[in-house]
Amino acid sequence: MTESPNANRIVFIGAGNMASAIFGGMLESGYPADAIVATSRSQEKRDAIGQRYGIRAMQDNLAAVEEADVVVLAVKPQMMRDLCLSLRDSIQARRPLVISVAAGLDAATLDTWLGGDLALIRCMPNTPSLVGEGASGLYANDRVSAAERQLATELLESVGLVEWVEEEAQIEAVTAISGSGPAYFFLFMESLEAAGIAQGLAPESARRLALQTAFGAAKMARESELAPAELRRRVTSPNGTTERAIHAFEDAGLAEIVSRATHACAERARELSRELGQN
């Protein structure tokens, strides 16, 4: 990544878990600490950020934006309208690249709240970003340059995988697959753990076996050139124990359940976008 003193100055408005994961990942990737600023209303949090990360933590959003090349909006969606309106004049004067990690707010709405005609990127990260294994979907409006897309890619790759979508509506699909996806896998691990306990395993053993199996399967799938469907076929012997379990999942309609769940998630994301845009 870029090194100081020529590094782009990145300002995070909000310093919650996701923002901390991103600037923490940037620092681990070699981004200079003196080019990162985070804002928080909490003195305790500002002190903690400075001590842990060595970056500048400020209370005044307007003062922070005055120095920004990139502004990362990392507050709750319900707070975003008031925040954007308060930043509008400073953003228009500075005209930084704006990256929003807030769910449910489309680029046009954010651009309007910020005064218009801005280079703006929507990002849908997920919680494994907190351990450097995230998956982020990004959408750029037509004012974002190739260099700005590359910069955003570098920032988000510091906490995991980055996938760009060319149509903003696809962000809802990203939300349904990777944004909310960790919870689906946690639910399956929870169910596998409970099944192990029901079949006589000690609770701690059932949990360790379920978690390690999930981790190992994900690692195999990520490192293999084979599709998950082919990996599944290769470990499913005819008339064996795994095949019997797979048939039970299929008979219960697992694929249809996953399809219904992800469609419900995407629809809720669209509902939230409409609700938030009307506020």
pLDDT tens-digit map of 249-262 = 999 999 999 999 99
Task: Determine if residue 15 is labeled as part of a ligand binding site.
Answer: yes
State yes or no: pLDDT of 40 exceeds 70.
yes
Mean pLDDT score across all residues of the chain: 94
Is 14 annotated in a binding site? The answer is yes
Is the CB of residue 55 less than 8 Å from the CB of residue 33? Answer: yes
User: Would you say residue 36 has pLDDT above 80?
Assistant: yes
Task: Kindly state the average pLDDT of the residues 176-192.
Answer: 97
DSSP letter for 162, please. Answer: E
CA distance 177 to 184: 9
Residue 117 has pLDDT above 50, yes or no: yes
Check whether 17 has a pLDDT greater than 50.
yes
- Pairing mode, strands 56-58 and 160-164: unpaired
- The model's pLDDT over 264-277, given as tens digits with 9 standing for 90+, comes to 999 998 898 888 87
Would you say 13 is a known binding-site residue? yes
> What pLDDT, on the 0 to 100 scale, is given for residue 7?
84
Comparing CA positions, the residue from 120, 161, 125, 157 lying closest to residue 140 is 120
Please check the confidence at residue 3 and state whether its pLDDT lies above 60.
Answer: no
76 is in an annotated binding site: yes
Residue 17 assigned to a binding site: yes
Banded pLDDT at 5 (limits 50, 70, 90): low
Residue 1 pLDDT? 47
Q: Do 2 and 155 form a contact (C-beta atoms < 8 A)?
A: no
Condensed to tens digits (0 to 9), the pLDDT of residues 191-244 reads 999 999 999 999 999 999 999 999 999 999 999 999 999 999 999 999 999 999
Q: Which amino acid is at 273?
A: S
- pTM score, two decimals? 0.89
d(CA 172, CA 176): 6
Question: Would the annotation count 238 as a binding residue?
Answer: no
Q: Burial letters for 109-148: b for 16+ Cβ neighbours within 10 Å, e otherwise?
A: bbbebbbeebbbbbbbbbbbbbeeebbbbbbbbeebeeeb
Residue 74 assigned ligand-binding role: yes
Which two structure tokens, joined as six digits, stand for 119? 């280079």
pLDDT at 123: 97
Beta strands in the chain (DSSP E): 10-13, 36-39, 56-58, 70-73, 97-100, 120-124, 134-140, 160-164
What domains appear along the chain, each with residue ranges and CATH number?
A: 10-167 (3.40.50.720), 181-269 (1.10.3730.10)
Residue 143: both structure tokens together: 């004012």
d(CA 30, CA 28): 5
Higher pLDDT, 5 or 219: 219
**Percentage helix, strand, coil, to 5, in the chain?**
60, 15, 30
16 is in an annotated binding site: yes
Whether 279 has a pLDDT exceeding 60, the answer reads: no
